[in-house]
């Protein structure tokens, strides 16, 4: 038994044949012009669903899409269609009403049923403890029709929502295969770490990255390689490139300066950067960067130096792309970092929505990235990296 999984029951611990399994999936996806996009999460959750169905379980999927009030807050009929690419299933536009309950009762062994968006129930997202959620009408009604609860939705484990924390209080509960993989990989990056450990931090969300940097420095990280917008903040903070002050930048730059002082030589900064000139990529050394000039990527020299550090690492944790990878001209830095990670013998963990999207967009093939785990989680990944407990995980621990 893997050390990271010792606290949990897995599908292997249950005899699911003929049993009704409530299965919490995360198939929440990007929506463009009302159309739900196919996401890896859908395929990965479908694999566990297929396994349960092959083991003759009656599988009832609980899932959400978007948040109430948002443009992406939709029923799950489109998700049913997308899931059908991988597994046969029925769908009802009901969650706990008579239609849903009848559909659950009528399931035959091996059949799969998707219920509607659980966030359409006000009870789902109330700010309540697991014990309180367990007493909700939603949980009581559906739990009375089920035998087992399996959670495969690591990416929503940071939410203390009814479908995440309520059912494990009243049903035998375990984790699905995707959740197993996420927990094993995150455990290797946060608990059972092999050194040297290197963080590669970029993207455009400074608050999140600063939190990770502070935590990593406290835990004794060996190197932090800064890229993307984050790299620019540190270059401003160190006074290497000029900055005309605006309030928000000033705040971020101030925090970057404090972190830089604390991290000393453990934090690395770009040596060169790419800017846009007449729509084309131009690499320049730092002393040629003008005040407030937009920086789109890290340069070649930086890629090489960072590549060397990654090569000698035993653990690499990456969050956020190295540049504006959506534009072909500026995908080079992100691609080179991915390549260095793929070529290294280190165990690597990549996460955060944009990082995982960037892998496909820059044309890397995940199957070729041995020894690399790409987390499908955003907020939950971040929380876990910061060593914070996730309610949806805590509640699944064996009692």
Residue whose C-alpha is closest to residue 157's, from 357, 391, 365: 391
User: Which one of the spans 50-58, 154-162, 271-279, 355-363 is the region binding ligand 3PG (CB under 6 A)?
Assistant: 154-162
155 binds ligand 3PG (CB under 6 A): yes
Nearer to ligand 3PG, 156 or 340 (CB): 156
User: Which one of the spans 9-17, 151-159, 172-180, 298-306 is the region binding ligand 3PG (CB under 6 A)?
Assistant: 151-159
Residue from 378, 383, 385, 393 touching ligand 3PG (CB under 6 A): that is: 378
69-98 residues near ligand 3PG, rule: CB under 6 A: none
Dihedral in degrees, nearest 10, Cα atoms 336, 189, 152, 373: 30
Binding mask 159-188 for ligand 3PG (x = CB under 6 A): x-----------------------------
Binding mask 100-139 for ligand 3PG (x = CB under 6 A): ----------------------------------------
CA count, 13 A, side-chain hemisphere, 70: 16
Q: Are 150 and 22 in contact (CB under 8 A)?
A: yes
Q: Are 337 and 367 in contact (CB under 8 A)?
A: no
Backbone phi, then psi, for 245, in 5-degree steps? -70, 135
16-35 residues near ligand 3PG, rule: CB under 6 A: 26, 28
Q: DSSP string of 26-72?
A: -----EETTEEPP-HHHHHHHHHHHHHHHTT-EEEEE---S-TTSTT
Token readout for 351 is 């996460």
Nearer to ligand 3PG, 126 or 291 (CB): 126
Q: For 104, left (φ over 0), alpha (ψ -120 to 50), or beta? A: alpha
391 binds ligand 3PG (CB under 6 A): no
Helices (H), 264-373: 300-311, 332-343, 353-361
* Position closest to ligand 3PG via CB: 28
Nearer to ligand 3PG, 55 or 64 (CB): 64
Q: DSSP string of 98-142?
A: HHHHHHHHTPPTT-EEEPP-GGGSGGGGSS--HHHHHTSHHHHHH
**Taking the complex as a whole, how short is the minimal distance between the CB of residue 68 and ligand 3PG, in angstroms?**
10
Using CB under 6 A, count the residues that bind ligand 3PG. Answer: 8
Nearer to ligand 3PG, 70 or 254 (CB): 70
Nearer to ligand 3PG, 159 or 335 (CB): 159
Could you give the CA distance from residue 125 to residue 115 in angstroms, rounded to a whole number? 17
67 binds ligand 3PG (CB under 6 A): yes
Nearer to ligand 3PG, 302 or 375 (CB): 375
Residue from 21, 121, 156, 396 touching ligand 3PG (CB under 6 A): that is: 156
Could you give the CA distance from residue 22 to residue 113 in angstroms, rounded to a whole number? 10
Nearer to ligand 3PG, 156 or 342 (CB): 156
Q: Are 378 and 369 in contact (CB under 8 A)?
A: no
Site residues for ligand 3PG per CB under 6 A: 26, 28, 67, 155-156, 159, 378-379
């Amino acid at each position: 038994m893997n050390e990271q999984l010792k606290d949990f029951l897995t599908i292997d611990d249950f005899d699911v044949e003929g049993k009704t399994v409530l299965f919490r999936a995360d198939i929440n996806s990007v929506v463009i012009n009302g159309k739900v996009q196919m996401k890896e999460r859908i395929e990965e959750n479908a694999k566990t669903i297929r396994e349960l169905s092959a083991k003759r379980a009656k599988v009832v999927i609980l899932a959400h899409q978007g948040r109430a009030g948002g443009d992406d807050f939709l029923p799950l009929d489109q998700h049913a269609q997308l899931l059908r690419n991988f597994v046969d299933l029925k769908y009802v536009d009901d969650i706990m009403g008579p239609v849903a309950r009848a559909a659950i009762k009528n399931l035959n062994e091996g059949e799969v049923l998707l219920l509607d968006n659980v966030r359409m129930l006000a009870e789902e997202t109330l700010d309540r403890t697991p014990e309180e959620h367990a007493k909700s009408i939603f949980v009581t009604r559906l739990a009375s029709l089920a035998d087992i609860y399996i959670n495969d939705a690591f990416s929503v484990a940071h939410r203390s929502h009814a479908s995440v924390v309520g059912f494990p209080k009243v049903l035998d509960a375990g984790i699905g295969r995707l959740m197993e993989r996420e927990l094993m990989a995150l455990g290797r990056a946060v608990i059972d770490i092999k050194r040297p450990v290197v963080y590669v931090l970029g993207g455009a969300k400074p608050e999140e990255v600063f939190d990770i940097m502070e935590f990593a420095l406290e835990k004794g990280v060996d190197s932090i390689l800064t890229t993307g917008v984050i790299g620019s903040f540190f270059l401003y903070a160190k006074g290497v490139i000029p900055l005309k002050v605006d309030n928000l930048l000033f705040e971020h730059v101030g925090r970057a300066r404090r972190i830089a002082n604390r991290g000393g030589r453990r934090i690395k900064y770009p040596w060169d950067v790419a800017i846009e000139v007449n729509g084309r990529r131009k690499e320049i050394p730092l002393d040629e960067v003008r005040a407030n000039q937009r920086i789109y990527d890290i340069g070649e020299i930086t890629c090489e130096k960072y590549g060397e550090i990654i090569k000698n690492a035993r653990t690499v944790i990456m969050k956020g792309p190295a540049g504006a990878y959506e534009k072909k001209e500026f995908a080079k830095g992100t691609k080179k970092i991915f390549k260095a990670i793929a070529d290294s013998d280190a165990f690597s963990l990549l996460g955060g929505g944009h990082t995982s999207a960037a892998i496909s967009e820059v044309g890397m093939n995940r199957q070729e990235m041995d020894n690399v785990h790409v987390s499908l989680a955003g907020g939950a990944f971040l929380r876990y990296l910061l060593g914070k407990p996730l309610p949806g995980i805590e509640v699944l621990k064996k009692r």
